[in-house]
Amino acid sequence: MTKSYMFPDNFKWGAAASATQTEGAANSGGKAKNIWDYWYEIEPERFHKGVGPQDTSTFYQHYKADIKRMKDVHFNSFRPSISWSRLIPDGVHVNQEAVDFYNDMFDELQKNDIESIVNLYHFDMPLNMQNKGGWENLEVVEAFKYYAETAFKLFGHKIKKWTTFNEPIVPVEMGYLNHFHYPCVVDMKRAVVVAYNSMLASAKTIQAYHELNQGGEIGIILNLTPSYPRSESEGDLKASQIADLLFNRSFLDPSVHGIYPEELIELLRDYELLPQTDKKDIELIRNNTVDFLGVNYYQPRRVKERESEYTSDKVLPEMFFVPYIWPERRMNPYRGWEIYEKGLYDIAMNIKDNYGNIPWYVAENGMGVENEERFLDETGMIQDDYRIEFYKEHLKWLYKGISEGSNCFGYHVWTFMDNWSWLNAYKNRYGLYRVDLETQERSLKKSGQWFSNVAKENGF
């Protein structure tokens, strides 16, 4: 049968995962605590059904069989992250058990012809680093660079694609503008410092990687949530422009162009939010841009101008714009996120037109659904047709973007198997494989079957 949507040769098909969400073994294998382990210890009630990060999906024990399952569904690539607090538990000395684990995991992937795209930071600040102030402290930026260099030296001969951060805006937004990630600070001035220092850490890491000359590439993964204004009115357009500056361009521009948007600098200056910067660091960011981009896309951001008086005494993003509920929106009710497939095309075109058509890939796209057990059929397979529909429609728009010249080289779903999702724990399931939490058994969902065919055929 001829396919309507055929993707370019060597297109990467696979999934992303993160150490904290899949490995488990949070308190073994020589791993030190990260902020999630600690936060769970002191406030377990914040986590859905009181489920914490200790065991997550037991990938640490079952990675061999899981990699075999990836092969079964025709993955040719996979993005795991390394846990900083596992690799260098005390911030200085390398943990040999971690080296063995990651070496073996990468070898196993290679044996199965699955290319690793290895991410260095996925929301998992080691507790000892957070105790020093986390990203607010430049010492931690240096410690991150040391960790990254250590990883390059240990694994760089076998890993040819690295990423510095996954969604660096998320710890800023959730941990320094809201109460959803530890340390739950609500302070925009501190949030700006965290964002700037994360960017600095990314640029320093890119520099270190390029200096090692290992013949690979390094990028960053950003969650680009296109901003759509309610209307073309001046106020709505400005609201959407500011949302875009704060939540997309704050990392996208320096990562790809090496410079911050002038409008962002002005806005921060007007509100006395500009961080202390050093000329050398600005140069460093300018000279160490990414080789490629990973884009996580789940939802758009619809905004309008603020119509009511802003009463808080704090400067926060909601001072500049408020959410707009588009009457035609379709929701994923479990996650509370709008589903808007065309957003992926808009991203593809934005990268093509405004970011030098840099090579990029979809690094995460997926749909979390609660209580999926109700879709189990008599054979024990979850009939998740909604997820197939979700992937299909996004892929159609991605295909259109590629056909119009956007330089996209792959599509990774979130995620391979059901995993632990931060505060939501196991509430919403995202996997191509179901994970039975009692037995840790994995079983393929209907979407896994579908994805397997698409990956095998390079299209549908």
Among 150, 424, 452, 458, which residue interacts with ligand BG6 (rule: CB under 6 A)? 424
From the list 29-37, 84-92, 384-392, 414-422, the region that binds ligand BG6 by CB under 6 A is: 414-422
Q: CA-to-CA distance for 397 and 394, rounded, in angstroms? A: 5
How far apart (Å, rounded) are the C-alpha atoms in residues 304 and 326? 10
For the chain, what's the residue count?
A: 460
Stretch that binds ligand BG6, among 69-77, 302-310, 421-429, 452-460 (CB under 6 A): 421-429
Find out whether 350 and 295 touch, Cβ atoms under 8 Å: no
> Which residue from 13, 84, 414, 451 is in contact with ligand BG6, where contact means CB under 6 A?
414
Q: DSSP states of 392-425 as a string?
A: HHHHHHHHHHHHTT--EEEEEES-SB---BGGGB
- Residues 328-347 binding ligand BG6 (CB under 6 A) are 335
Shortest Å, Cβ 296 to ligand BG6: 6
Of 78, 421, 444, 451, the one binding ligand BG6 (CB under 6 A) is 421
Residues 26-65 that bind ligand BG6 (CB under 6 A): none
* Residue number, 18 or 34, with CB nearest to ligand BG6: 18
251 sits near ligand BG6 (criterion: CB under 6 A): no
Cα(48)–Cα(56) distance, rounded to whole angstroms?
A: 13
Pick 95 or 225: Cβ nearer ligand BG6: 225
Q: How far is the CB of 337 from ligand BG6 (least distance, A)?
A: 8
In the complex with ligand BG6, the residue whose CB is nearer, 451 or 460, is 451
Q: CB of residue 123 vs ligand BG6: minimum separation in angstroms?
A: 7
198 three-state secondary structure: helix
Q: Residue 211 and residue 192: Cα distance in Å, rounded?
A: 29
Written as six digits, the tokens of 72 are: 């079964």
| CB proximity list for 336: less than 8 A, separation 6 or greater | none
**Binding track over 258-297 against ligand BG6, x by CB under 6 A:** --------------------------------------x-
Q: To 5 degrees, how large is the angle CA 6–CA 10–CA 11?
A: 55
The catalytic position among 108, 338, 341, 364 is 364
Is 364 part of the annotated catalytic residue set? yes
Spatial separation of the C-alpha atoms in residues 247 and 243, rounded to whole Å: 6
Binding mask 352-371 for ligand BG6 (x = CB under 6 A): ------------x---x---
- 167 counts as catalytic: yes
Tell me whether residue 177 or residue 239 sits nearer to ligand BG6 (CB atom): 177
DSSP secondary structure of 229-297: ESSSSHHHHHHHHHHHIIIIIHHHHHHHTSS--HHHHHHHHHTT-PPP--HHHHHHHHH---SEEEEE-
Looking at beta carbons only, is 95 or 166 nearer to ligand BG6?
Answer: 166
223 binds ligand BG6 (CB under 6 A): yes
Residue 422 contacts ligand BG6 per CB under 6 A? yes
- When asked if residue 116 is in the footprint of ligand BG6 (CB under 6 A), the reply is no
* Residue 432 C-beta: closest distance to ligand BG6, Å: 14
The one-letter amino acid code at 114 reads I
**Contact map string, positions 158 to 177, toward ligand BG6, x by CB under 6 A:** --------xx----------
Nearer to ligand BG6, 341 or 364 (CB): 364
Selecting among 167, 173, 305, 338, the annotated active-site residue is: 167
**b (16+ CB within 10 A) / e for 323-350:** ebeeeeeeebebbeebbbbebbbbbbeb
For 325-328, the CB contacts below 8 A with 24+ separation are 326/228, 326/230, 326/302
Q: Under the criterion CB under 6 A, does residue 18 sit at the interface with ligand BG6?
A: yes
Residues catalogued as catalytic: 167, 364
Q: Where do contacts with ligand BG6 occur on this chain (CB under 6 A)? A: 18, 21, 166-167, 223, 296, 335, 364, 368, 414, 421-422, 424, 428
